[in-house]
Amino acid sequence: MFNSVNMKKLLLFITLAAAMAVASAQPAITGGRVTIGSDQDVQMIVKQPQSTQQVFNTIDIAGMHLVFDRFQVSCLATKQELQGLPSGARITGIALDGKNMGGDTSFNVSVYLQNSTLTRQNVDASGISQHPFPGDEYLVASDADCTLPTDTSRSNMFDLDINPFVYDGNSLLVTLGIAFPENEVLNFALETTLSNTDNALVIRTQDYCINSMFALLPIFMPNADFTFDAKQLPAFRLRYITNDIRGRVLDAQGNTVSGLTLAITDETDNTSHNLGIQADGTFNFVNADPSHLYTVAIAGGDYDFKAEHLAFADDNADIVLDVTLGAEGFEGDINADGAVNGEDLNILINIVLGKDNASNYTGNADLVDDDRIDGSDLNKLINILLGK
């Protein structure tokens, strides 16, 4: 019986449900049970070092002691070198390795990133770069303090978190502004890797440019052994994130299931993608649009699972699904998300009120099993939430 005491309970939980409800469509789950998470994976693309290149900022020539307190290092990585980095990925960190070869150890670095259609860095016959140093609109990290180890062990020259930068799938031009305290002498070996690109690496000092074929302008520095191979890049590590829909599919006994098909549909633009499920039951749809809603459908044998209206929590989230095929939800778990809480009460109230946005959940809503959904089901759910 739905008496005045229970009505007070209902009013209490209506208030709770309203506070917990979200404006967007709730997920609709059929054919199984799912737990939905949002933790985002930070991924990495790595170019392994294959050689080293000594770099220094002081030269003695004809009785003169020349010290450069600033370098500008321009690195062009094409999409072949960035294989595995999807278009639309947001780069969030960059690291380079090197070895201290003696001298001082502290320096500062600023990082500039540009999407580019270049396939080689253009230099003239004298080795002077033909494209300008980037402006501050490309700055993703400014004047970060870095320190080399005092010994000659291989180490991070720097490993920086940067302002997220969206990669567009073409070449990536990375420019480093490296500065040293006044009169400080730096001598290090930069870890490098082979590149497919001519002039993959160009280095400027304050007044001069070094590229793959030329030393510092020989009229000023006749014996400066400060050259880089035409097809070398610094061995780099890029951290990046994408908005993925990923998870694992198991049966009610916790076993993987063969012969399944999985389709992910973008409800916003009505496009669909078939996806493979790995032998361990995992799947991963990379680089979804975090502003869209999605449906995940899994079918095969006796199974027909569907999770509709899946939304990203924010731009820095994934949709992570732990799917149990064919499993009945917990009693009171109206939306079959693996938990019984105020969201289930909010949905059940909307079902009782006949709201269209709750029609997908009616299969789990008849809690008293009387072939109708009414106040008796609300009363039972309230008692479940109260632990009775």
- Looking at residue 13, its pLDDT comes to 55
Q: Which two tokens stand for residue 236?
A: 């780099």
Q: What SS3 state is found at 8?
A: helix
- Looking at residue 337, its pLDDT comes to 67
- What is the residue-level pLDDT of the chain in tens, covering all 388 positions? 555 655 555 555 555 544 444 334 567 788 888 888 888 889 999 999 888 777 766 666 566 666 667 778 889 999 999 988 999 999 999 999 888 888 788 889 999 999 999 998 877 665 566 677 788 999 999 999 988 877 777 777 889 999 999 999 999 999 998 888 777 777 788 888 989 888 888 877 655 444 433 344 333 443 333 445 568 888 999 999 999 999 999 998 889 999 999 999 999 999 999 999 999 999 999 999 999 999 999 999 889 999 999 999 888 899 999 999 986 666 787 777 667 888 888 888 888 888 755 666 666 788 888 888 888 888 888 888 887 7
Measured in degrees and rounded to the nearest 5, phi and psi for residue 193 equal: -140, 155
Alpha-carbon distance 109 to 157, whole Å?
10
Alpha-carbon distance 268 to 289, whole Å?
10
Residue 255: how many CB atoms within 10 A of its CB?
10
Structure-token match 């739905």, residue found: 2
- Looking at residue 219, its pLDDT comes to 36
What residue segments make up the domains of the chain, in order of their start? 4-41+243-385, 43-240
Note the pTM of the prediction, 2 decimals.
0.71
- Looking at residue 231, its pLDDT comes to 82
Alpha-carbon distance 212 to 123, whole Å?
10
Span between the terminal Cα atoms of the chain, in Å: 16
For 43-240, CATH number?
Answer: 2.60.120
Answer CATH for 4-41+243-385 from 1.20.140.10, 2.120.10.30, 2.60.40.1120, 2.30.42.10: 2.60.40.1120
Q: Which residues contact 261 (CB under 8 A, 6 or more apart)?
A: 274, 298, 299, 300
- Looking at residue 105, its pLDDT comes to 83
- Looking at residue 353, its pLDDT comes to 85
Alpha-carbon distance 115 to 136, whole Å?
15
- Looking at residue 202, its pLDDT comes to 80
Alpha-carbon distance 339 to 296, whole Å?
19
> Across the chain, how many H-helices and E-strands are there?
3, 24
CA-based nearest residue to 237, from 291, 196, 191 = 191
Q: Are 203 and 74 in contact (CB under 8 A)?
A: yes
